[in-house]
Amino acid sequence: MVPLSWYIVLSALMFSIGVFGFLSRRNLIIIFISIELMLNSVNISLVAFSHYLQSMRGQILVFFVITVAAAEAAIGLAILIAFYRNNPTIKVDEINLLKG
Amino acid sequence: MLKYILIPLLPLLSFIINILFGRNFIKDKAHWIAVPAVAGSFILAVSAFMDVQAGNVINVNIYNWIVSGNFNVTIGFLIDQLTAIMLIVVTSISTLIFIYSIGYMHGDGGYYRFFSYLSLFVFSMLMLVMANNFLLLYFGWEAVGLCSYFLIGFWFHKKSAADAGKKAFIVNRFGDFGFGLGVILVYLTFGSLDYLKIFSNTGIVLGQTINIFGNDIDLITLICLMLFCGAIGKSAQIPLHVWLPDAMEGPTPVSALIHAATMVTAGVFMVARCNPLFSLSHTAMNTVAVVGGVTAIFAATIALVQNDIKRVIAYSTVSQLGYMFLALGVGAYSAGIFHLYTHAYFKALLFLGSGSVIHALHNEQNMQNMGGLKKYMPITYGVFILATLSITGIPPFAGFFSKDEILWRAYSGGELGKFLWLLATVAALLTAFYSWRLIFLTFHGRFRGTHEQEHHLHESPRVITVPLMLLAIGAVAAGWVGIPPLLMEHGDKIGEFLAPVLGHPHGEGSHAEEMMVMGMSILVAAAGWFIAYQMYVKKTDLPMKVGAMFQPLYKLLYNKYYVDELYSRIFVQPVLKLSDKVILGFFDAKIIEGVVNGVPNLIGAFSNKFRKIQTGLLSNYGLVMAIGALAIIGYIIFMR
C-alpha cells in the first residue's frame, strides 16, 4: 500500500516542474506542455485524495479537468497556429505585441 | 378693469407679433401692427385719465406674482393722478413717434426689429408707471433699461453704437444697484412692497437708525438716497450722466422717445411717486435738489460748445432733468412732474426736428456743416422755433410755465432754495443761448456742407412733418394747464389735479417777488437769444474769437469736463488692466488652465511609469502570477 504522502509529493514535484518549465522555457510548445503537466499534477492529487477519503467527488472533478484540458489544448493550439501564420515565430520573447 | 390691463398689453402684443413673425412675414409692414397698438393704448389711457379726473383712483391687483410666506408681490395697477398724467405723456408721444418712425426708419434692414423693440419699450414704460408696488416698478425700471440698450445699439454693426449701448447699460447698473438695495430696504422696513401700504404707514420709520460700519445712519434718509441712486442712473444726473450723450448713437426716434421724453424721466417719476418717503428726510431732499441744480448748470455749460446737433439736445435733456430734480428736491413735486410733462413735448419735438434735419442731410450731424436750412425745410424750421421758444421759457409757450413754476418754488424754498434758484436762472440763460445757437447754426446763414448734400436738400415727407406739427401743438399749449395763480385765478389746474398724490408745495413769498422771478426768467431767456444772435448771425467771427480768448475753458467744455476720460482712467482702465493681467494673465492662465492641463498631465506622467509593467512577455506575467500564488499560499500557511 503506497501512503498518501507519496502521491502528494509526486504531485508537488510535477507541479513545480510545470511551473519551472512555464517560466524558464521560451518555446511556446514547451510552455504548453508545462501547463498540461501542472494540470495533470493536480489530477494526481485529486485522485489520491479521492481514494484516501473514499469519496467519488475528486474523481468526478478529474474528468472535468481532463475535459477542460482537452478543450484548452485544442483551442490553444489553434490560436498558436493562427498566430504563427501571421508572425512566424514560437519564441515567447518575440511575441510582445501588448507591450506598454 | 380689462381696459386698464389692455393699456400695457397692446404694445406687448405688438412686440410679440413683430418679434416672432417680423423677419419672415411682416417685414416692412411692422408699423401696421405697432402703430394701432400704441394708438389704442393712447385712447385707453385718455379714458383712464377721464376716470381719474372723475375721481376714481384705481388700485387693482390682477395676479399673485410671488407668494412665499409673508412675502407677497402682486402684479397690480395703481392709476392715480400722477400715473394718469404719465400715461398720457407716454402714450401720446409714443404714438406720434411711432408714426414718425414709419418715415424715418423706412428702408432700414431692421425695420420690424425697430418696431418690436419700441413696442416692448412702451409696454415696459407703462408697467413702470402703472405699477402699484416696488417690485413691479423695478421690473419696469429694468425692462426699459434693457430696451434702451437694444435701441441704442440698434445699428449694432457700428462699433460706436454697440459700445454706447453697453455703456448705457453698465452705467445704469451702478444706479440700479443702489435702487435694488433701496427696494430691499423698503421691504425690510415696512414689511411690504405695496405703495399704499407703505405710504400710509411712513410714521414707523421716524427716528429709526441703521448701523453701517459703526455709524448710525437715519433709516429713511438711507432708503431715500438708495432709491435716488437709481434715479441718478436712469435720469442721467451727475455723476452718472455720461451714458446719455453717447446714447445718441441710436436712431433719432429712439433718442426722442426714450432718451428725452419718457425713460429718462422715470427717475423723476419714481421720486415723485415716493414723495411720502422723501418728504421725511431733509438730507435726502437737499441731496436731490443739489444734484439736480448742479446737473442743470453743468450739462448746460457743456451744451454751449458741442457741435453735434443731437449731443447739444442730449446735454439739454440732462440739464432739464436737473431742473426736474431741483423741483422735487425743494418739495415742489407737482412742478417737477409739470416740467416733465411739458419737457416731454418740446424735447421730443427738438429731437424729431433734428432727426428731420439729419434725414435731409443724409446722416450729417455736425452743425458746423449745416446752415441755411431755413429755406429748404420751412416746416422743420417752424417747429424748431416753437420748441426753442418753449424750452427757453418765453411766454406763453409750454416751457415758460413749468420752468417759471420751478424757479419760483426754488426761490421761495428757503436759504438753499435761493442758491438753487440762482443756479437754475444761470442755467436758463445758458439754455437760451445754446438753443438759439443750435437754431442759428443749423437754419441761418449759408449752407456749409458739400454740394452733393445741398443738391439733395428737401423737406421731409408728410409722415415725418405731421407728427412734428402735432408735437408742436403740445410744445406750445401743454403749459396752459399750469398757469400760475398770479396770472390767472385757478390757472394751475395740473397742480390742483396732482395735489391728492403730491401735495401742495409750501413756500413763502410775496407777489412782488414772484413777479421778479418771472421777470428774471423772461429776461435771461431774451438775453440768451440776444447773445446767440449777436454771435452767430451778426458777427459770425465772434465765436472763434471768444473761443480763442477763453481757450482753456473752451477746451474744458468741449471735452465735457473730461468726465469720460476721468472715468476711463479711474474705472475702465483699472478694470481692463485687472482683467488682462490678473484674471486673464494669472487666474485664467495659471489656475484654470493649470487645473485643466495639470490633471491630464499628471495622469500622463503616472501612466508613463506604470505602462512599463505591461511588458507583453508571457513569462513575466507567469512569474508574477507564480509569485502571487506563492504569496497567497505563504499567507495561508504562516499567517493564520
Reported ipTM = 0.82
Q: Which of B222, B228, B449, B451 is nearest to B358 (CA)?
A: B449
In this prediction, residue B117 has a pLDDT band, given cuts at 50, 70 and 90, of: very high
Residues B580-605, mean pLDDT to the nearest whole number: 90
Weakest-pLDDT range from B171-180, B272-281, B321-330, B509-518: B509-518
Q: Quick one: chain B helix, strand, coil %, rounded to 5? A: 75, 5, 15
Residue A2: helix, strand or coil by DSSP? coil
- State the Cα–Cα distance between residues B225 and B231, nearest whole angstrom: 10
What's the pLDDT score for residue B264?
A: 92
Instruction: Report in angstroms the alpha-carbon separations of B280 from A5, B234, B333, B566, B594.
Output: 110, 23, 14, 35, 56
- State the Cα–Cα distance between residues B465 and B442, nearest whole angstrom: 18
Contact A26 B619 (CB under 8 A): yes
What's the pLDDT score for residue B555?
A: 86
pLDDT at B416 over 90: no
What's the pLDDT score for residue B530?
A: 92
What's the pLDDT score for residue B143?
A: 94
In degrees rounded to 5, what are phi and psi of residue B110?
-100, 30
Beta bridge partners of residue B308, listed in sequence order: B366
In degrees rounded to 5, what are phi and psi of residue B556?
-60, -45
* CB-CB neighbors (< 8 A) of A100 in chain B: 610-616
The overall average pLDDT reported for chain B is 89
Q: Which of B206, B134, B204, B138 is nearest to B172 (CA)?
A: B138
What's the pLDDT score for residue B9?
A: 93
pLDDT at B415 over 80: no
Beta strands in B522-584 (DSSP E): none
What's the pLDDT score for residue B446?
A: 84
Instruction: Report in angstroms the alpha-carbon separations of A55 from A45, A46, A48, A60.
Output: 13, 11, 10, 10
In chain A, where the domains are located: 4-93
Tell which CATH architecture fits domain A4-93: Orthogonal Bundle (1.10)
What's the pLDDT score for residue B413?
A: 79
Question: Residue B250: CB partners within 8 Å, gap ≥ 6?
Answer: B151, B152, B153, B154, B155, B161, B164, B165, B258, B259
Reported pTM: 0.81
Q: Which of B278-282, B427-431, B485-489: highest mean pLDDT?
A: B427-431
Contact A100 B616 (CB under 8 A): yes
What's the pLDDT score for residue A100?
A: 67
Check if the beta carbon of residue B537 is closer than 8 Å to that of residue B440: yes
- State the Cα–Cα distance between residues B331 and B414, nearest whole angstrom: 11
Beta bridge partners of residue B79, listed in sequence order: B58
Gap from B605 CA to chain A (nearest CA, Å): 14
Residues B419-432, mean pLDDT to the nearest whole number: 92
Gap from A66 CA to chain B (nearest CA, Å): 22
What residues in chain B have their Cβ under 8 A from chain A's Cβ atoms? 610-619, 622-623, 626
Question: Residue A41: CB partners within 8 Å, gap ≥ 6?
Answer: A10, A11, A12, A13, A14, A15, A18
Contact A97 B619 (CB under 8 A): no
- State the Cα–Cα distance between residues B480 and B102, nearest whole angstrom: 31
Using the Cβ of A83 and the Cβ atoms of chain B, whether some distance falls under 8 Å is answered with no
Q: Which three cell numbers stand for residue B591?
A: 489656475
Contact B622 A22 (CB under 8 A): yes
Contact B626 A19 (CB under 8 A): yes
* CB-CB neighbors (< 8 A) of A23 in chain B: 619, 622-623, 626
| Burial state string for B410-430 with b = 16 or more CB within 10 A and e = fewer than 16 | bbbbeebbeebbebbbbbbbb
What's the pLDDT score for residue B540?
A: 78
What's the pLDDT score for residue B176?
A: 92
Contact B622 A98 (CB under 8 A): no
* CB-CB neighbors (< 8 A) of B609 in chain A: none
Q: Which three cell numbers stand for residue B557?
A: 467744455
Residue count (chain B): 640
Residues B111-136, mean pLDDT to the nearest whole number: 93
pLDDT at B97 over 90: yes
Q: Which of B2, B169, B141 is nearest to B77 (CA)?
A: B2
Residue where the block lists cell 492529487:
A45
User: What is the helix (H) or strand (E) element at residue B393, kind and residue range?
Assistant: none
pLDDT at B488 over 80: no
Using the Cβ of A99 and the Cβ atoms of chain B, whether some distance falls under 8 Å is answered with yes
Q: Which three cell numbers stand for residue B337?
A: 412732474
pLDDT at A46 over 90: yes
pLDDT at B30 over 80: yes
Backbone dihedral region for residue B462 (phi beyond 0: left; psi -120 to 50: alpha; all else: beta):
alpha
* CB-CB neighbors (< 8 A) of B616 in chain A: 95-100
Gap from A24 CA to chain B (nearest CA, Å): 7
pLDDT at B495 over 90: no
Of the partner residues B610, B614, B617, the one whose CB lies closest to the CB of residue A92: B617
Q: Which three cell numbers stand for residue B2?
A: 380689462
Residues A33-43, mean pLDDT to the nearest whole number: 93
Beta bridge partners of residue B194, listed in sequence order: B133
In degrees rounded to 5, what are phi and psi of residue B75?
-95, 110
Residue A61: helix, strand or coil by DSSP? helix
pLDDT at B40 over 90: yes
Cis bond leading into B396, ω under 30°? yes
Would you give the DSSP letter of residue B332? -
pLDDT > 90 fraction of chain B, expressed in percent and rounded: 51
DSSP secondary structure of B255-324: HHIIIIISGGGHHHHHHHHTHHHHTT-HHHHHHHHHHHHHHHHHHHHHHTT--BHHHHHHHHHHHHHHHH
Contact B617 A93 (CB under 8 A): yes
pLDDT tens-place string over residues B282-329 = 889 999 999 999 999 999 999 998 999 999 999 999 999 999 999 999
Instruction: Report in angstroms the alpha-carbon separations of A71 from A15, A36, A66, A83, B209.
Output: 20, 12, 9, 18, 93
Instruction: Report in angstroms the alpha-carbon separations of B97 from B35, B91, B110, B540, B541.
Output: 9, 10, 17, 35, 38
pLDDT tens-place string over residues B243-259 = 999 999 889 999 999 98
pLDDT at B122 over 90: yes
